[in-house]
Amino acid sequence: MSEKLSTRSLELLTLERVAHLATADQYARPHVVPIVFVYEPPFVFTPIDAKP
């Protein structure tokens, strides 16, 4: 199932190049890292590489 993105979401995907990926561990501690991405409708690509 897919849904249409809002106008604001499309603006962000089109104009921005950096996003923040947030996860939480088993104790609910947050971890946020910046990621770069490319939006080529309908896909969002982000590189996978080693991080310190």
Domain limits, the chain = 7-45
- Write down the pTM of the prediction: 0.70
CA distances from 24 to 32, 37, 43 (A): 9, 21, 25
Helix, strand or coil for residue 22?
Answer: strand
| Per-residue pLDDT, 1 | 58
| Per-residue pLDDT, 52 | 60
pLDDT tens string for the chain (52 positions)? 578 999 999 999 999 999 999 999 999 999 999 999 999 999 999 998 776 6
| Distance from C-alpha of 23 to C-alpha of 51, rounded to nearest angstrom | 15
The alpha carbon of 25 is separated from its chain's Cα centroid by a whole number of angstroms, namely: 18
